[in-house]
Structure 1
Amino acid sequence: MTAYAVAHIVHLFCAVAFVGGVFFETLVLSVIHTKRVSREARREVEKALSYRATRVMPWIVGGLFLSGLTMAHRYAAAFAHPFANAFNTQLCLKVLLAVSVLGHFMIAVTKMRRGTLTAGWSKYIHLAVLLHMILIVLLAKTMFYVGW
């Protein structure tokens, strides 16, 4: 098996874990911020999730980006000419969105560790990352089928 094939498999597994985690936290777990859940219960859930997320997600994000960088070598020509065709443009846009996701993730982790991650920041970051990830997944598929 080639290094590209291994990186591709690792990338897919990490992407599924990351996108799934963000999807779950953004669209499913947001119910704990309603009046149906007591403040004490919400704090317990948030504490448990925060503990797990800060230990697991950095490894998943690291695996996602390292495998992505490993695969990027195959597409060096596409990065050199980002507007040459639809594939190159979509690939470069996908990478740009991924860098933005990394930036949002680093802000969230930093704020969590400092204890300055407010509910508003958390909601914004989760929603922004979810929208970025939806676009990245869409681009990951359309770049092989959509041309102009």
Structure 2
Amino acid sequence: MSVYSVAHIIHLFCAIAFVGGVFFETLVLSVVHSKQVSREARREVEKAIARRAVRVMPWIVGGVFLSGLTMAHRYAAILADPFASSFNTQLFLKILLAFSVLVHFLIAVTKMRRDTLTVAWSKYIHRAVLVHMILIVLLAKTMFYVTW
């Protein structure tokens, strides 16, 4: 098995975990912020999720990015001219979105550690990252099938 194959498998598993986590927190756990859940219960759930996320997500994000960088090495020549073909452009956009996700993730972790992550910031980051991740998954598939 090649280094690329191993990186690809690690990338897929980490991406599934990350996208699944963001999807779950954004679309399923949003009910915690409704009036159906008491303030005390909401705070306990948020603290428990934050503790787990701070321990687990850095490893998952690190796995996604290290494996992604390993795979990107194979496409160095393509990335040198990102607008030469539809494949190049879609791969380039996918990588740009991935780095935007990383920036959002780092902002969230920093705000969590400084205890300045508000509900509004959390909602914004989760929604932005979810949209980015949907676009990344879409590009990951269309770059092999959509040409112009």
Q: Specify the alignment match of 2:104 in structure 1.
A: 104
Which residue of the partner structure matches residue 128 of structure 2? Answer: 128
**Amino acid of the residue matched to residue 89 of structure 2?**
T
1:78 to partner: Cα distance: 1.1
TM-score (norm 2): 0.99
Deviation at 1:119, TM superposition (A): 0.3
CA distance in 2, matches of 1:15, 1:36: 32
Counterpart code for 1:62: G
Q: Does 1:35 align with 2:30?
A: no
Equivalent-residue separation in structure 2 for 1:51 and 1:146 (angstroms): 41
The count of corresponding residues between Structure 1 and Structure 2 is: 148
Is the partner of 2:144 in helix, strand or coil? coil
- The corresponding residue for 2:3 is 3
Consecutive unaligned residues in structure 2, runs of 5 or more: none
Identity of aligned residues (%): 80
Partner of 1:49: 49
Give distance in 2, aligned partners of 1:82 and 1:44.
46
**Residue type at the aligned position of 1:12:** L
Q: CA deviation at 1:77?
A: 1.2
The one-letter code of the counterpart of 1:36 is Q
Q: How far, CA to CA, are the matches of 1:123 and 1:43 in structure 2?
A: 15
Alignment RMSD: 0.3
